[in-house]
């Protein structure tokens, strides 16, 4: 099992993601600089990490979504490569069109940074199957632009097709229908604002994130 983490200027959760992947797979993740043009053909899973790529200029994730490596990520994701984006990674995936909707300024116009309770809206997805009967997890959030928006037609499709994977128990940012994490129509591309990669060590407050990574790795 080989995994990769994409690194952009001002990524700040890339090492957290790499540590989470190493804990679950027993192998170091490959760190791929955004200026590279191709994901190695033997990579099984890609993480786009959180942070403030390009200083959030223009719009969060907008410039990063035009990076050379992202063009190849989009092409491979459309052929089935599993890709997950957390926080800024979710914003980047939305900017590419791999995931529907947009991430806007938090409803309260303030940066939110705290552990957040999430309900598992779909326990049968590739990203949640290892949770079993667990209905609630706690992941940290740390964002200013995490207010998920999509039109009602899109939201209805997401819910009807089981593509809403996580919801906020106590919505911290005003996201439509409490949505915290979604997947694409094929289930291989996933994005969420909370940080499962920051919930892998009991010394950091909990390990609910480990099961998230176990779910996708086991599905692969």
What's CA 99's distance to the chain center, in Å? Answer: 11
Does residue 55 surpass a pLDDT of 90? no
- Mind listing the domains of the chain with CATH numbers? 3-219 (3.40.50.880)
Q: What is the pLDDT of residue 190?
A: 98
With beta carbons less than 8 A apart as the criterion, state whether 177 and 155 touch: yes
109-152 pLDDT, tens digit each: 999 999 999 999 999 999 999 999 999 999 999 999 999 999 99
Q: What is the pLDDT of residue 205?
A: 87
34 given a catalytic annotation: no
195 given a catalytic annotation: yes
Does residue 67 surpass a pLDDT of 90? yes
Among the listed residues 13, 60, 87, 183, the single catalytic one is: 87
157-171 pLDDT, tens digit each: 999 999 999 999 999
Q: Provide the mean pLDDT of the chain.
A: 96
Does residue 89 surpass a pLDDT of 90? yes
pLDDT band at 185 (very low <50, low <70, confident <90, very high): very high
Which residue stretches of 55-105 are H helix? 68-77, 88-96
Does residue 200 surpass a pLDDT of 90? yes
2-42 pLDDT, tens digit each: 999 999 999 999 999 999 999 999 999 999 999 999 999 99
Among the listed residues 34, 116, 183, 197, the single catalytic one is: 197
197 given a catalytic annotation: yes
Q: Which two tokens stand for residue 97?
A: 């069109």
Among the listed residues 13, 60, 183, 195, the single catalytic one is: 195
């Amino acid at each position: 099992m080989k995994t990769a983490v994409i690194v952009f200027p001002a990524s700040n959760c890339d090492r957290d993601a790499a540590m989470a992947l190493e804990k679950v797979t027993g192998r170091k993740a490959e760190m791929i600089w955004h200026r590279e043009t191709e994901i190695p053909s033997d990579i099984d899973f890609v993480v786009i990490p959180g942070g403030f790529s390009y200083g959030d200029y223009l719009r969060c994730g907008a410039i990063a979504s035009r990076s050379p490596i992202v063009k190849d990520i989009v092409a491979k994701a459309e052929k089935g490569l599993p890709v997950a984006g957390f926080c800024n990674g979710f914003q980047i995936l939305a900017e590419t069109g791999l995931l529907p909707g947009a991430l806007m300024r938090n409803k309260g116009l303030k940066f939110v940074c705290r552990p957040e309770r999430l309900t598992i809206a779909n326990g049968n997805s590739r990203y949640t199957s290892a949770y079993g009967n667990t209905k609630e997890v706690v992941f940290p959030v740390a964002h200013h632009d995490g207010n998920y928006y999509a039109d009602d037609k899109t939201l209805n499709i997401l819910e009807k097709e089981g593509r809403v994977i996580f919801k906020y128990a106590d919505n911290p940012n005003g996201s439509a229908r409490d949505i915290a994490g979604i997947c694409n129509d094929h289930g291989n591309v996933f994005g969420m604002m909370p940080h499962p990669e920051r919930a892998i060590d009991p010394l950091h407050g909990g390990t609910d994130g480990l099961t998230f990574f176990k779910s996708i790795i086991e599905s692969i």
